[in-house]
Amino acid sequence: MGGELASSSTSIPTTDPNRGLTEAEVHARRARFGPNELPQPQSPALWRLALAQVTHLFALLLWIAAASASIAGMTELALAIVAVILLNGIFAFLQEYRAERAAARLRSLLPLRVTVRRDGHEIVIDARELVPGDIVILKAGDRVPADVLLLEGIDVAVDVSTFTGESVPINPSPGDAIQAGTSLTRGRAIAVVTATGANTRLAQLARLTAAPRRQPTPLTRELQRLVRIITVLAVSVGLLFFAVAVFLRLPVLDAFVFMLGVTVALVPEGLLPTLTLSLAVAAQRMAERRALVRHLEAVETLGLTTVICTDKTGTLTLNELSVTSIWTPAGSARLFGQGYEPDGESDIEPGAEASVRELARAAALAADGRAVWRDGRWLPLGDPLDTALWVMVHRIGLDPDAIRAKAPVLRTYPFDPHRRRSSVPTESQLIAKGAPENVLPNCRDS
């Protein structure tokens, strides 16, 4: 078994695609490379995460203020300050704990089961049992279980938005690498595993989210500066009033209590919960738009940003494709709805109803995708562009499955980068989908 298959992290002997690995080879490689699992992220201990919320510089200032109020006999004020510290700490802890849990969900990007070829037979195994050199068989809808090299593929399209943020799937050719955590949106593929577990690109991405010691944000630095100013000011004014009280011949104990009261009064106890709540509201709004904020102070840092340079669709957008407008020779239409949810509305110009419905029927035959309800939301199954067309047909008021049942597709000619279109023939017509400059010249009445 000569030759070498190189990946970003592993070099392994080539494998016969028709036979796959033997059991002896599997055991030897599993002993060498370990299970196909992402390493457990090094999350901070819960007690450390909780302690950090009540021991930062501002919280320490409030603890001192609470102790001073207690010594001065202002028990209710002391208890109120302690309550502010604890409630604020609990709120901030819950926010960061949820963010840590969300960051750890990268492990769920790997599938639980996968089809492999071993000893000449196709079998289904746990994805964690994969080893470098395994031959895997993937079909539309499958998640890629490890870093692989494509050996054979029929009309293969891969969703790589996990890594690039791009909504449009790529079309790999034999010899191209496909990373773990991506998914096939179309076609069937045979590939050889080049890296598993901690050696995959997905594991590298997971390590990036487990950032080491973080640098203080601009907000943290400003808060530390404010605390120092407040401390110096409060202590200075308190000492000044203590000196005045002694000068006016008040008892020293009364003067000391007076000094503590003035010092505590100068500490803005309400600033900490106000700041935390403001940042938490902003973090929650970003979470609703699927942007993860692991540390609340980062919200303010983002607010200071004046220019963001990006070319990645899906990084700042919803990573969803949606048909919003239709143009036909007879008139146009506007579509309304949320994401890939089939329910929606359409506003068709008078006289264009027949043309728009005819276009929708053609789209139903040309689109090999659909939306499925999973994890509480509608997700694309297959090519996102085809899914968007499937949703469009529903919003116009037609049933794509019923249309396909009445006019069965005889075969599919996949997208060709040279022709820049795909096409499907039925018994009565040929429907093409692709770049306008390549499709329109072949259309009647264009």
- CA angle, 405 then 408 then 414, to 5°: 125
The residue from 16, 254, 311, 416 that is catalytic is: 311
Return the CATH number at 345. Answer: 3.40.1110.10
Q: Which of 3-7, 252-256, 267-271, 346-350 has the lowest mean pLDDT?
A: 3-7
326-339 average pLDDT score: 90
For 86, other C-beta atoms within 10 Å of its C-beta total: 13
Q: What is the pLDDT of residue 1?
A: 38
Please check whether residues 181 and 97 belong to one and the same domain. no
pLDDT at 10 over 60: no
Residue 375 covered by a domain: yes
254 in Cβ contact with 241 (< 8 Å): no
Task: Give yes or no for residue 141 having a pLDDT over 50.
Answer: yes
Residues 86 and 143 in one domain: no
Q: Over range 199-218, report the average pLDDT.
A: 71
**What is the Cα gyration radius of the chain?**
31
Whether residue 384 sits in one domain with residue 438: yes
In a domain, 25, yes or no: yes
Q: Which CATH number characterizes residue 23's domain?
A: 2.70.150.10
Instruction: Give the CATH number for residue 255.
Output: 1.20.1110.10
Q: What is the share, in percent, of the chain residues with pLDDT greater than 70?
A: 86
pLDDT band at 4 (very low <50, low <70, confident <90, very high): very low
Whether 317 is covered by a domain: the verdict is no
Say yes or no to pLDDT of 3 above 50.
Answer: no
**Same domain, yes or no: 126 and 13:** yes
- Measured CA to CA in angstroms, residue 301 lies from 59, 219, 220, 297, 446 at distances of 21, 7, 10, 7, 52
Give the count of beta carbons closer than 10 Å to the beta carbon of residue 236.
12
The pLDDT, as a whole number, for residue 326 is: 92
CA distance 219 to 297: 6
Residue that is last in its domain, among 208, 230, 252 = 208
Q: Looking at residue 290, what is its pLDDT?
A: 64
Q: According to the per-residue pLDDT averaged within each range, which of 50-54, 66-70, 344-348 is highest?
A: 344-348
User: Whole-angstrom distance between the N-terminal and C-terminal Cα of the chain?
Assistant: 57
In a domain, 64, yes or no: yes
386 found inside a domain: yes
- Whether residue 122 is found in the same domain as residue 199: yes
Is residue 215 pLDDT above 70, yes or no? no
- pLDDT one-digit tens code per residue, 89-98: 887 787 777 7
What is the DSSP secondary-structure string of 243-311?
HHHHHTT--HHHHHHHHHHHHHHTS-TTHHHHHHHHHHHHHHHHHHTT---SSTHHHHHHHT-------
Sheet holding 331-337, edge to edge: 325-328, 331-337, 344-348
105: pLDDT strictly greater than 70:
no
Segment (H or E) for 261: helix 252-265
236 and 150 share one domain: no
Which of 403 and 4 is assigned the larger pLDDT?
403
Question: Is residue 319, in this structure, part of any structural domain at all?
Answer: no
* Residue 5 pLDDT greater than 60, yes or no: no
Question: Do 94 and 170 belong together in one domain?
Answer: no
Distance CA 222, CA 57 (A): 11
Residues 258 and 366 in one domain: no
On the question of pLDDT at 11 being above 50, the answer is no
Provide CB contacts within 8 A for 71, sequence distance 6+. 257, 260
Token pair in block for residue 316: 């700042």
Q: Which of 173, 208, 243 is the last residue of a domain?
A: 208
Q: What is the mean pLDDT of residues 166-192?
A: 86
Residue 408 belongs to domain spanning:
325-442
Distance CA 186, CA 172 (A): 11
Give the separation between CA 31 and CA 129, rounded to whole angstroms.
11
Establish whether 311 is a catalytic residue: yes
* pLDDT score for 148: 93
CB-based contact 365:409 (threshold 8 Å):
yes
Instruction: Kindly report whether the global pTM for this prediction surpasses the value 0.85.
Output: no
- Report the DSSP pairing between strands 344-348 and 369-374: unpaired
Q: What is the pLDDT of residue 398?
A: 92
Question: Does 124 reside within a domain?
Answer: yes
Per-residue pLDDT tens digits for 26-42: 999 999 998 988 777 66
Q: Is there a domain that residue 49 lies in?
A: yes
Residue range 295-305: mean pLDDT, rounded: 74
Give yes or no: residues 138 and 15 share one domain: yes
Say yes or no: 116 and 165 in one domain: yes
With cut-offs at 50, 70 and 90, classify the pLDDT of residue 292: low
Q: Which residue has the higher pLDDT, 395 or 57?
A: 395
Q: Which of 169, 194, 166 is nearest to 180 (CA)?
A: 194
95 with 222, same domain: the answer is yes
Mean pLDDT of 189-201: 90
pLDDT of 6 above 50: no
Q: Is residue 33 domain-shared with residue 48, that is, in the same domain?
A: no
How many structural domains comprise the chain? Answer: 3
359-416 pLDDT, tens digit each: 999 998 888 888 888 777 888 887 888 889 999 999 999 998 898 888 888 888 777 7
The residue assigned the tokens 């249309």 is 403
pLDDT of residue 214: 60
Which of 309, 334, 365 marks a domain boundary? Answer: 309
Measure the CA–CA gap between 10 and 132, rounded to whole angstroms.
Answer: 8
Over the chain, what is the mean pLDDT?
Answer: 81
